[in-house]
Amino acid sequence: MPPPPAHGADGDKPLVLLAQPLFPNLAAALEGRYRLVLAADADAATVAEARVLLVPGLVAVPAELVDRFPALELVAATSVGLDHVDLGACRRRGLAVTNAGAAFPSTPPTTPSASSSPCCAGSPPPRRTSGAARGRRRAGTRSPPRLV
């Protein structure tokens, strides 16, 4: 679902609480569409209205923070893990919790293989071998050891 369009007055923009200040690039991308307020700076009206808590980085989200906002519905972390969020408190309140999930791969992306290159179209994909097979090849033996 696309974010809501930008509106003229700040009061027309959806409110997003921030557990800590945003990274500059993320702040620039969100400021035109949302009204961003640090949770620590929230006044009584903001406390009563806030439905979303954005958690950039790994700042702790304890039960006290979650319980401070009675209208809160969503805790959205920009990190892959959720160890810094008190999931028990969120579960008790019935809050949805989300994170970056697989957006940050554990291994860097690889370059395209030779078989995907136009010059090699139609050729079989490269062989993939196990670590044990590579070790035997380096040792000069091609076949696996036979069991007696």
Instruction: Give CA 108 to chain center in angstroms.
Output: 16
For residue 48, tell me if it sits in a domain: yes
Q: How many domains does the chain have?
A: 1
pLDDT per residue as tens digits for the range 74-125: 999 998 889 999 999 999 999 999 998 877 666 655 555 444 444 444 555 5
97 part of a folded domain: yes
What per-residue confidence (pLDDT) applies to 71? 96
Whether 32 is covered by a domain: the verdict is yes
> Is 140 among the domain residues?
no
Flag whether 126 is in a domain.
Answer: no
Would residue 58 count as lying in a domain?
yes
CATH number, domain of 92, equals 3.40.50.720
Residue corresponding to tokens 């009204």: 35
Q: Which of 72, 30, 67, 68 is nearest to 50 (CA)?
A: 72
For residue 32 the two structure tokens come to 């035109």
Please tell me the distance from the alpha carbon of residue 129 to that of residue 117, in angstroms, as a whole number. 21
The residues that bridge with 85 in the sheet, in sequence order, are: 61
Residue 20 pLDDT > 90: yes
The count of residues in the chain is 148
Q: How confident is residue 14, by pLDDT bands cut at 50, 70 and 90? A: very high
CA distance 86 to 108: 30
What's the domain range around 25? 11-103
Higher pLDDT, residue 2 or 69: 69
Q: In this structure, is residue 125 part of a structural domain?
A: no
Vertex 93: Cα angle to 88 and 95 (nearest 5)? 90
Establish if 83 belongs to a structural domain: yes
The whole-number pLDDT of residue 33 equals 94
Partners of 16 in beta bridges: 36
